[in-house]
Structure 1
């Protein structure tokens, strides 16, 4: 349990540090010295130092606030790293003497600023503090597990605090060594305060985030380390004070040394002046020799004076000026002496004494006086500073030691206050961990824990036992090697998504056991949160569901086989719960009633409503009193479909009883028996027809004996059945036609059928009658001819029928003349016999042209003619055909060669023994166009819907390629493209497409404006269609389209979130007009692509 005071101290430390940095940066921004340097006349906080305080303050605030989101931690780490990098580069600049250019990034500072060795550069102790603070933040933000790393983090925090503390102490005691190292840039007072606050906040956060468990165990180490750091720091202050005192003493000696050198220079110049004057007046060479010695001494003493004042900027300018005057004076004296030696006293006789000695001597003497005054003042100042430094050193050491002891006492108090609570927490934690280990050992599941980043942490033994691998191979993400190869990528992706979302994780997968078997498991993971809401770890289980999965699959397979069997048999299952009156049907029951599965009745009365009223009572009786034993009961009943058709159903049901003998459920199966009932009815009807028909229906065996004789035969031939049954049929055949009958019988035995054979028969009274005979073989179950069935019809009334047929033909011709549909009659050789006016209009042939020609060559497309001839031959041979008596849709051919869809119905009739076929043909072009339009619209909507789904998960480049394929396939065009508009409207680049020459996609450039269809589309901002590119006048045909033979096309603007992005185009090499549905689909695809573009 963490102390609220530590967390609060960390947050407030971050806020105050951030505030101090913002104030200083505001001072630089608005040129307010009071914000840059809190104390007048002191060094200002540098702009990059203020930036570092802002970065570290914000990082400390965010870290101490307790947010553990991945982005929050990343921002904290990034801010601290940037501040540490700035500090590290500054230290490198100081150490190597480089200028990396980082000091002037934000603002520029004038040269010679107070306490600044390099313009704009922060103090080295500030840079070191930023490096230490950044390291501490990075370590604490990542919460390392190693104890020595945590100790290192605390040590870094204490180091930052010590830097700020001793800098503030230096300002308080006026000890420059506390805040300024050597002669480098000094640490500003507000920087020292900010560093102190930052170090205190970091230290509090370190104790808070590390949860103090390790701190209590190593409290003595931390305390001794802190005391050692403070003692070393105090000794450093004392050392710096002693060094300052020594430097003050050295400065006194240096000043005295400079005064001695200055005096010697003064004496030498005076001696040179006197010697030069004496030589000019007397001409005595001894004065000249003395002058040379004085000049030599002057040069030597001047050089020593320059060397002595090299490190004294306050006197060096005056010394340099003096050196210049001495050089001028030496040249002047050398000139005077040279003149005296060359011309005697005459050249210098007119000079005054000042002219002889030089006009610069008064100024030289004045400089000597000034340097003496400066030296005296510096000597007094350095003596006073040394005394003051010594006095303050004796005050700082005890005060600093006292402050260190107070600080250590406070830390010890906080640690002791936490210790008792932590011991209790650790006891509870150990107990919880022991229970957890026991649970892991006892359970058959694989229990696991993982880090917030998803790395597997343990426990070890269950995973090793199951996989047969060592823990070193499984830890981290190594456990994924146990996944089934076909599922590894999916599991990894789902696990990574759960880690990012921080939510519950569950997934079915297969894990490889040590014996090589992949077993089904359910992986579940739960995020465990810390008290501050951050993700601490993952805990989960892997439950073995392999056996259950196999049992479920076996059950599903059994159910599938049952359903397959029921489907094949067209059998449905039903169940009725008696007490609740709940009727349940499976999906196969509803079709038996002409219903959709969703329309199935749910109550018994709803079911009985569709049962025929005659059968309803029997059903009620069965359901009210089912058989007492476990036997099933069979029922047949009729049901009325919604289309008013009646169907027969058969049902078999069984009652289920409870322990009291009461029926609680009745269940069974049902199937349709309509076909069987219709066949049975057909047989009954056929028997009735045979009995009631006026034709003579005679059945006979292969030996010619009569086996059946219907009343029609009795009426036609005059013989009662009992007189002819069992007798040969030859008694009905005239003697002259016996040979004919034998030939007919031979054909029948070969399986042939004889239709409408006209012959003569003998009646009982001996009269001959003309009959039309149809003879068919009767086959047994094996397909062999077992008998002969003969239908004989008196054709006496035929003539009357022919007359009626003629009248019917007349009416037929009138109907043909006025019919709207084409009517074509042809013979068995496909030659046209009739060709009505509607056929003339439909096919373009006149009746006089069509009649007599083969219909196949006139109206059947060439590709279908051979098939038509084969079908006609089969029809004539077997009497059966796929289109006879049905309405079928075919493709017909006009005289001009165009093909069009028609609806055809063919009927067959006889003429002179040969079949005649009449075809009724209707042009269904408009209907087909409407149907095709509906189909195309549905296909387009489906394609657009699938593409919209893909746009949610597919990368943009892949989506473009898939979109062009979808458009090309749906619109049935050869070419499709996606063009991306180039910057500044320079043109378009082909980024995706179908049907283009290799190498063009990704490289081809299409011109803009009116130089291309794409450019015109972008200008008009509308959907642009082109019927014929060669005659297009709105824009020029680009080479890309012309080189591919494009004739027609359509294009539309792809509009992204930021405006027009490019153009979507589709083109074909044939002339084509795009429908309104095509344009709507095309614009929908462009809208989907535009929505996918961010």
Structure 2
């Protein structure tokens, strides 16, 4: 018949550290794994409170937890470090359960020590990595947040707390409408809601109110993190300050608008011819050449085809020579628009080169001088007419002088001379400023 094993023998073979205490907490029994771990006998272990069996940093907590359990009779659990026989400390989880007699009185405490050192080490490593990650996130030049799948704030970096002047708890109740500029809210809020519903990435520019009430421009980007089933588990949000860029863009836009207005008023267009790329034009340059929205203006051929047949070869040769020799370009020429209208233009171009002397592009301006040419042609016609009338007047003066000499009746001649009356009628039809020229001959 097989011998019944002693309880201590059973406990010695359990792969764990087991301790039995009396009702008042006195050490009564330890199994073999306990003695092997500490390298001490039961008698030596009974003085554990004053020994270094428990890590000094954990001793106070261990004593107070055990005393409270003995006083209340309630089970207890505790994590602390125990010194191994070789001097190394390892983490253990204590699970203490009271054993009661038939009358309900506690007679013993059974305590199981479970080695959790690897778990604790992993947890500490995770905490350390979390601290390092938090430090890295705090150095990111932007506002970093994480949000739940529903879009509620979970975590923010230090920069976010400082910008909004709120605590994390306050920001957890944050909504888009709390800090986004009212003018931007009309598109930012619907877009954020749409992304939360669809799980699509968010990318937009909007203004956010700082703690001092000032609004600054940010680029808001939110990426979803999906779980194994493809559902959104969390949102990672980054707000990048682009206020200076936006301000510069607005100033540039106003500057370009002013330039376009000035070019429109002065009939001046500008252009850029990149050797490795397309030609770019200002709106006024397109208007001067009669460019339609569907026209392909990326190459020089489009503009060469607009040149007046009598000017095209000359201008093409001049432009090609400027490109080859990397010299300034200047020319007066005519273009013919699709409706047959002819415009007179004056163009100046300047080469832009690298430090090595390699030509990068040509930048230039073109002025529509059609009105100037038409005014000059009109002036030339007027001057020719004035000259013709002056010559005719001189002839009439000679005839009149001869007639005066013959008749010596100046007043009568003036009043009755048919040729003179005809000349004076023509003079009256000439501009007042030109009448003096006709009469004086100057």
Structure 2 counterparts to residues 826-845 of structure 1, below 5 A: none
Looking at structure 2, the residues matched to 661 and 589 of structure 1 have their Cα atoms a distance apart, in angstroms, of 29
Residue of structure 2 equivalent to 1:568:
265
Partner of 2:16: none
For residues 276-324 of structure 1, the C-alpha deviation after alignment (integer angstroms, 9 at most, x for no partner) is xxxxxxxxxxxxxxxxxxxxxxxxxxxxxxxxxxxxxxxxxxxxxxxxx
| 8 Å CA contact retained: 1:571, 1:589 | yes
Relative distance call for 1:659 and 1:499 in structure 2 (3 A) is closer
1:679 match: 375
Contact 2:143 2:157 in 1 (8 A): no
2:436 is matched with which residue? 787
Distance in 2 (CA, whole Å) between partners of 1:574 and 1:732 is 72
Aligned to 1:735: 411
Q: 1:761, CA displacement in angstroms?
A: 1.4
CA shift, 1:636, in A, is: 0.6
Quote the residue 2:289 is aligned against: 593
Where do residues 339-350 of structure 1 align in structure 2 (5 Å cutoff)? none
> In 1, distance between residues paired with 2:320 and 2:351?
11
Name the SS for the 2:425 alignment partner.
Answer: strand
Instruction: Please tell me whether residue 448 in structure 1 is matched to residue 142 in structure 2.
Output: no
1:643–1:531 CA distance, 2 compared to 1 (3 A): closer
Mapped to 2, the partners of 1:497 and 1:732 lie a distance apart of: 106
- CA–CA distance in 1 between the matches of 2:176 and 2:353? 55
- Give the drift of 1:732: 11
How far apart are 1:219 and its partner, in Å?
11
Measured in 2, the distance between the counterparts of 1:732 and 1:646 equals: 57
Alpha-carbon shift at residue 596 of structure 1 (Å):
1.7
Q: 1:732 touches 1:762 (CA, 8 Å); kept in 2?
A: no
Paired position in structure 2 for 1:439: 136
Change (3 A) 1:445 1:732: farther
Correspondence for 2:340: 644
Shift of residue 524 of structure 1?
1.9
The alignment partner of 2:132 has SS state of helix
> Partner of 1:670: helix, strand, or coil?
strand
Q: 1:273-352 alignment to 2 at 5 Å?
A: none
Cα 1:652–1:512 shift into 2, 3 Å: same
> Retained in 1: the 8 A contact 2:319–2:329?
no
Cα distance, 1:523 vs structure 2: 2.1
- Number of aligned residue pairs: give it: 332
Q: Which residue of 2 aligns with 1:546?
A: 243
Distance 1:508 1:219, change over 3 A: farther
Counterpart Cα distance in 2 of 1:464 and 1:550:
24
**Does the 8 A contact of 1:651 with 1:669 survive in 2?**
yes
Question: C-alpha displacement at 1:422, in angstroms?
Answer: 7.3
Matched, 1:492 2:141: no
Assess, with a 3 A threshold, how the Cα gap between structure 1 residues 489 and 561 changes in structure 2: closer, same or farther.
Answer: closer
Asked if residue 470 in structure 1 is aligned to residue 167 in structure 2, the reply is yes
Give the Å deviation of 1:714: 5.1
Equivalent residues of 1:777, 1:787 under 8 A apart:
no
Distance 2:181 2:421 in 1: 90
Could you tell me whether the CA contact under 8 Å between 2:272 and 2:363 is conserved in 1? yes
Contact 1:528 1:535 survives alignment (8 Å): yes
Tell me the equivalent position of 1:654: 350
Does the 8 A contact of 1:510 with 1:518 survive in 2? Answer: yes
Structure-1 separation of matches of 2:282 and 2:382: 38
Residue by residue over 1:729-770, the C-alpha shift from the partner in whole angstroms, topping out at 9 and shown as x without a partner, is xx99962476xxxxxxxxxxxxxxxxxxxx74167xxxx987
Deviation, structure 1 residue 550: 1.3
User: Are the structure 2 counterparts of residues 219 and 522 from structure 1 closer, same or farther at C-alpha, using a change threshold of 3 Å?
Assistant: farther
Tell me if the contact between 2:393 and 2:438 (Cα under 8 Å) persists in the aligned partners.
no
Gapped regions of structure 2 (runs ≥ 5): 1-91, 98-113
Q: TM-score, normalised by structure 1?
A: 0.27
- In the other structure, the counterpart of 1:773 is 425
- Taking a change above 3 Å as real, the CA distance of residues 524 and 602 of structure 1, as seen in their structure-2 partners, is closer
CA RMSD of aligned residues (A): 4.4
The 1:219–1:457 alpha-carbon spacing in structure 2 relative to 1, beyond 3 Å, is farther
Structure-2 separation of matches of 1:737 and 1:586 = 66
Change (3 A) 1:660 1:623: farther
- Bigger radius of gyration: 1
**SS of equivalent to 1:568:** helix
Contact 2:203–2:221 (CA under 8 A) maintained in structure 1: yes
Instruction: Measure the CA separation in 2 of the matches of 1:770 and 1:523.
Output: 84
Map 1:98-109 → 2, pairs under 5 A: none
Greater helix proportion: 1
Distance change (3 Å), C-alpha of 1:559 and 1:454: same
Contact 1:734–1:761, Cα closer than 8 Å, also in 2: no
Deviations along 1:70-126, one digit per CA (max 9) or x if unpaired, are xxxxxxxxxxxxxxxxxxxxxxxxxxxxxxxxxxxxxxxxxxxxxxxxxxxxxxxxx
In structure 2, what is the equivalent of residue 761 of structure 1?
Answer: 417
CA contact (8 A) 1:777 1:789 kept: no
Alignment-derived partner of residue 530 in structure 1: 227
Residue 773 of structure 1 aligns to a residue in which SS? helix
C-alpha contact (below 8 Å) 1:733/1:760 kept by paired residues:
no
Q: Once the 2 structures are TM-superposed, how far is the Cα of residue 668 of structure 1 from its aligned partner?
A: 0.7
Shift of the 525–657 alpha-carbon distance from structure 1 to 2, 3 Å rule, reads: closer
1:623 aligns with 2:299: no
Which gives a bigger RCO, structure 1 or 2 (Cα 8 Å, sep 6+)?
A: 2
Q: 2:70 aligns to what?
A: none
**Compared with structure 1, are the counterparts of its residues 585 and 498 closer, same or farther at alpha carbon in structure 2 (3 Å cutoff)?**
closer
**Structure 1 pair 218/489, CA: closer, same or farther in 2 (3 Å)?**
farther
Q: Secondary structure of 1:625's match?
A: helix
Q: Partners in 2 of 1:458 and 1:543 — Cα distance?
A: 17
Instruction: For residue 670 of structure 1, report the CA deviation from its aligned partner.
Output: 0.6
| Equivalent position SS for 2:181 | coil
Asked if the contact 1:717/1:762 (under 8 Å) is kept, the reply is no
State the partner residue of 1:482.
179
Q: Provide closer, same or farther for how the CA distance between residues 581 and 771 of structure 1 changes in structure 2, counting only shifts above 3 A.
A: same
d(CA) in 1 for partners of 2:310 and 2:366? 19
Q: Separation in 2 of the partners of 1:498 and 1:450?
A: 13
Quote how far apart the aligned CAs of 1:220 are. Answer: 6.1
Note closer, same or farther for the CA distance 1:524–1:610 as it changes in structure 2 (3 Å cut).
Answer: closer
Q: Distance in 1 between matches of 2:429 and 2:396?
A: 20
Measure how far apart 1:773 and its partner are.
1.9
* Contact 1:590–1:600 (8 Å) recurs in 2: no
Once structures 1 and 2 are overlaid, which stretch shifts more, 509-518 or 603-612? 603-612
Which structure's residues are more often strand, by fraction?
A: 2
Deviation of 1:498 (Å): 2.2
Deviation for aligned residue 1:656? 2.5
**Structure 1 pair 617/689, CA: closer, same or farther in 2 (3 Å)?**
same
Aligned in 2, Cα 1:423/1:577: closer, same or farther, shift over 3 Å?
Answer: same
CA distance in 1, matches of 2:135, 2:197: 31
Q: Which residue of 1 aligns with 2:209?
A: 512
C-alpha distance in structure 2 between counterparts of 1:581 and 1:492, whole Å: 40
Listed one character per residue, the Cα deviations across residues 384-426 of structure 1 (whole Å, up to 9, x for unaligned) are xxxxxxxxxxxxxxxxxxxxxxxxxxxxxxxx9xx99977875
